[in-house]
Structure 1
Amino acid sequence: MAKGYVIAHAIVTDAEKWAQYVAKSKVALDKYEGKPIVRGGKCQILEGNGTQRNVVLEFPSYEQAIGYATSPEYAEAKALRQGAGSIDITVVEGV
């Protein structure tokens, strides 16, 4: 079975509020067996309009990645993120 990935590109404008979101999102991450592969760290934008904050979360399946992103637990975390920046999130099936 192919793994699932949540890929996010974010611009953080309020680090304190963003940290609350990250802490709360761990509940959903654990429930759906997600594992951070990339979370911030050094990055260099080589083409396009990239962002400095990049996240890749790995899940045992595409369905679990979707479950995480659409879960009530994640919705609670997402509410804490409002006004703390912007984010693009994509769920992708692995090969």
Structure 2
Amino acid sequence: MPAYGFAHLRSRRHHPDILEYLERIQATLDPFHGRFVIHGPPAEVVEGAWPGSMVLIEFPDLATAHAWYASPAYQEILSLRTDHIEGDVLLIEGVGPGYDPRERAAKLRAGEARPGGDDTEA
């Protein structure tokens, strides 16, 4: 099942380190079959507020995403970004082909009847 590295970058500062990070990141992704899906274009906000930009990188699975993030090659360049851009980064599993949100609703409904059932996810 695909997994994603998602970054919400709020305060970007142009700095030579950021250019170096951009020049080097693809080489860290290639061994893990990572590919950019979204890379920082301005977003059209249709609900709420979204300060900053976003990055979405796809990986074959969550274990591979974790391996990329922990890899010596990525860790070597990570501070080039984190020293100059404030943001949040998540690694998250995607849904597979055939995903049906009705199944999610059924699981949430079933959880309502149990003590401590979590019905807050959308």
Same fold (TM > 0.5): yes
Q: What secondary structure does 2:19 align onto?
A: helix
Cα distance in 2 for partners of 1:28, 1:82 equals: 16
Unpaired runs of 5+ residues, structure 2, are 96-122
User: Which residue does 1:5 correspond to in 2?
Assistant: 4
Q: CA RMSD of the aligned region, Å?
A: 1.6
Structure 1 segment 45-56 matched on structure 2, within 5 A: 45=45, 46-48=47-49, 50-56=50-56
**Which has the larger Rg?**
2
Unpaired runs of 5+ residues, structure 1, are none
> Which has the larger share of strand?
1
Could you give the per-residue CA deviations for residues 12-62 of structure 1, whole angstroms, max 9, x where no partner exists?
Answer: 1124321211222222111111010000113134314x3322000001111
Structure 1 segment 20-39 matched on structure 2, within 5 A: 20-39=20-39
Comparing both chains, which one has the higher relative contact order based on Cα–Cα distances under 8 Å and sequence gaps of 6 or more? 1
Is the 8 Å Cα contact of residues 9 and 55 (structure 1) preserved in structure 2?
A: yes
Q: What secondary structure does 2:43 align onto?
A: coil
Residue identity opposite 1:23 in structure 2? E
CA distance 1:82–1:3, shift in 2 (3 Å): closer
Task: Give the alignment's TM-score, normalised by structure 2.
Answer: 0.68
CA distance 1:41–1:82, shift in 2 (3 Å): closer
Task: Give the alignment's TM-score, normalised by structure 1.
Answer: 0.85
Residue identity opposite 2:8 in structure 1? H
Cα distance in 2 for partners of 1:8, 1:82 equals: 11
Task: Give the number of aligned pairs.
Answer: 93
How far residue 8 of structure 1 moved from its aligned partner, in angstroms, is 0.3
User: Which residue does 2:89 correspond to in 1?
Assistant: 89
